[in-house]
């Protein structure tokens, strides 16, 4: 991935997202997916919801991925040289299952001092209209919107939140990605995804990057991973996993997740209509 030119940066500023961006060769991403499948096979066929929160702190493959220059270069062009990975997790949808992501803004639960943050959504498998790709509302990142509890058990978001008004879906754009491609979207961009109505599963890895000088609002101090540049002291810094699900990493992870979930729950509650 080369640096973003001025035109693409302006398009991101205007629309709130950028896609598609080439990050990995298809065969390289096929290897990443095969390794993920092997990890899940060893753990009862799935990555548990708890282990999926900040999964890069348990799996060296993912620790390397969030620090990969092919992802970081375009993110640096938008957010600057000092970057933290605030979180990273998989969004997986099997064919015919009802899991979906309602319209929402990520800012409802990030709780950051400023909205200089984005998600790099990396396609481990093909992501298209039939199998529930991400959809966005271009230009919807001007400010925060009210949210409510969806009361929906199939909502894949950590707080079950959704936008508290009807969205004009005729304005939505499907983010169609091939394996190894990625999209970037602003934390205030309204986005979501439908259930997987196709015949192939959809696997995406959402990496949450923030500018390195930001801080967390509220009383809960959470941690983050320094991925480029220097540390500004706003977050406790996270450590690389010694090995796949290494005992030391497994010992550190629960406290990190508890703090993160308390912060998320507090932020979601503050923003509900």
| Residue-level pLDDT at 107 | 86
| Residue-level pLDDT at 108 | 81
| Residue-level pLDDT at 271 | 65
Contact 123, 178 (CB under 8 A): yes
∠ CA 81-82-88, nearest 5°, is 110
Q: Kindly give, in sequence order, each residue whose CB lies less than 8 Å from that of residue 44, ignoring residues fewer than 6 positions away.
A: none
d(CA 166, CA 65): 36
User: For the whole model, what pTM was predicted?
Assistant: 0.96
| Residue-level pLDDT at 98 | 94
Q: Tell me which residue has tokens 């060893």.
A: 42
Task: From residue 242, give the alpha-carbon distance in Å to each of 82, 246, 247.
Answer: 24, 6, 9
Question: Rounded mean pLDDT of the chain?
Answer: 94
Query: What are the residue ranges in the chain where pLDDT is below 50?
Result: none
Q: Residue 117, class by beta-carbon neighbours within 10 Å (0-12 exposed, 13-18 middle, 19+ buried)?
A: buried
**Which token pair is 80?**
């600057």
| Residue-level pLDDT at 1 | 57
Sign of the four-CA dihedral 116, 163, 173, 179: positive
């Amino acid at each position: 991935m080369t640096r973003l030119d001025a035109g693409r940066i302006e398009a991101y500023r205007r629309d709130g997202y950028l896609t598609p961006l080439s990050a990995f060769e298809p065969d390289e991403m096929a290897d990443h997916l095969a390794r993920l499948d092997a990890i899940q096979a060893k753990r009862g066929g799935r990555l548990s919801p708890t282990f999926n929160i900040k999964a890069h702190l348990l799996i060296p493959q993912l620790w390397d991925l969030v620090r990969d220059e092919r992802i970081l270069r375009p993110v640096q062009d938008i957010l600057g040289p000092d970057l933290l990975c605030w979180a990273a997790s998989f969004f997986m949808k099997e064919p015919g299952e009802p899991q979906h992501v309602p319209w929402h803004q990520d800012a409802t639960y990030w709780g950051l001092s400023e909205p200089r943050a984005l998600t790099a959504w990396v396609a481990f498998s093909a992501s298209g209209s039939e199998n529930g790709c991400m959809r966005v509302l271009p230009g919807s990142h001007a400010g925060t919107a009210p949210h409510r509890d969806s009361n929906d058990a199939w909502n894949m978001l950590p707080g079950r939140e959704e936008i508290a008004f009807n969205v004009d879906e005729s304005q939505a754009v499907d983010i169609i990605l091939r394996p190894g491609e990625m999209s970037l979207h602003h934390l205030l961009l309204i986005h979501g995804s439908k259930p997987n109505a196709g015949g192939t599963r959809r696997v995406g890895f959402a990496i949450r990057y923030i500018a390195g000088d930001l801080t967390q609002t509220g009383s809960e101090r959470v941690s983050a991973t320094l991925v480029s540049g220097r540390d500004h002291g706003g977050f406790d810094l996270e450590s690389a996993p010694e090995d796949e699900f290494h005992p030391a990493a497994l010992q550190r992870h629960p406290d990190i997740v508890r703090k993160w979930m308390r912060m998320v729950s507090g932020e979601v509650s503050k923003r509900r209509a």
